[in-house]
Structure 1
Amino acid sequence: MKKLIAGIALFGTFALASAQTITFDKTTFDYGDVKPNSEGTRFFTVTNTGDKPLVLSNVKASCGCTTPEFSTDPIMPGKSAKIKVGYNTGINGPFNKMIEVFSNDPANSRTVIYIKGNVDANAPEVAAAPAVAPAAPAAPANAKAARKAARHAKKVAAAK
């Protein structure tokens, strides 16, 4: 009987020791001061530091002004994935929002990440977005922004 109990305890230890483990590059993304209606998309990097595939089952924002996007594809051990979080920068004032990340990590099945910042009309202009997006083909919205920037650059050059 003692051997049976010891065997079960040993098996339970190995089962817990080999599992998927969720790790984030950061748990809070500070937008700082941003202009109204500026780019509100940021990315969190999720890494599987365990030895079994990690699956994100849900990513849920605390309100409708924050829109998370994620993939349910398994994240293999040692690999990473991105969680895209968008904030509606049309809402003026400070913000501090919570995003819940649900996964199959046995120790951290629910993890909380945050975005914070301040939407202010007097915020300084940002030349480039502070977020690093994964390489992807240009979307129509990005093409429109590029054309607008090119027209603006042409006007500035013509004024000189």
Structure 2
Amino acid sequence: MKKIILGLAAFTMLAFTSCKDNAANKIDESNIAAAAERDAVASKFPVIEFEKKEHDFGEIESRTPVETVFKYKNTGDAPLVITDIKSSCGCTVPQNWSREPLAPGAEGEFTVKFNGSGSNKVTKTITVTANTEQGKEAVKITAFVKPDPNKATGVGAH
């Protein structure tokens, strides 16, 4: 019985040491260099920098459509890709942005249309989904929507 246990122990030691040597021999230096380069590039992100992060339309008539353009620049170290731009409601529509990668240092823009709905002070958030480190960026539009003069207010109406 001792001989069997001793034989198994010797066989196990031989198997472990031979596997260790084979694993070390399989390491390819070019793979290590490629992985290091990949990891260095993976830590570089595009950075979207807006010319303005908020636009105030001021005082507008109810139901009067208005629009503005948000300009931005990629100030990061990798190409910027905007995958989506959404508004906090259907009355505000972002459009006309490029879905092509924007090189570092390059500039782009998108248009935001607001249909003038609501009343008094109105604020809408536009969320930009991109490959930045945070993944989402936000800009805002504001307006003071004056009451519709053609709409009955209930005061003095019979």
Distance 2:75 2:43 in 1: 12
In structure 2, the partner of 1:36 is: 62
Where does structure 1 lack aligned partners over 5 or more consecutive residues? 1-6, 123-160
Per the TM alignment, residue 36 of structure 1 is displaced from its structure 2 partner at its CA by: 3.2
Aligned-residue offset at 1:34: 1.8
State the shift of 1:12 in Å. 8.2
Paired position in structure 2 for 1:118: 144
Please, what TM-score do these two structures have when normalized by structure 2? 0.62
The alpha carbon displacement at 1:117 in A equals 1.2
How much is the aligned-residue C-alpha RMSD, in angstroms? 2.9
CA contact (8 A) 2:120 2:147 kept: no
Q: Give, as a single letter, the amino acid of the residue that structure 1 aligns with 2:80.
A: L
- Is the Cα contact below 8 Å between 2:91 and 2:117 reproduced in 1? no
Q: Distance in 1 between matches of 2:55 and 2:121?
A: 14
TM-score normalized by structure 1? 0.62
Deviations 1:22-81 (A, max 9, x none): 111111111111233444110111210012210100001110100001221221111111
Does residue 56 (structure 1) correspond to residue 56 (structure 2)? The answer is no
Aligned-pair CA distance for 1:17 = 5.2
Aligned mates of 1:19, 1:110 — CA distance in 2: 13
- Does 1:82 find its partner at 2:109? yes
Larger radius of gyration: 2
The total of aligned residue pairs comes to 118
C-alpha offsets along residues 129-155 of structure 1, whole Å, 9 cap, x if unaligned?
Answer: xxxxxxxxxxxxxxxxxxxxxxxxxxx
Mapped partners of 2:117, 2:89: distance in 1: 15
> In structure 1, what is the Cα distance between the partners aligned to 2:84 and 2:98?
9
Q: Which residue of 2 aligns with 1:141?
A: none
Contact 1:61 1:67 in 2 (8 A): yes
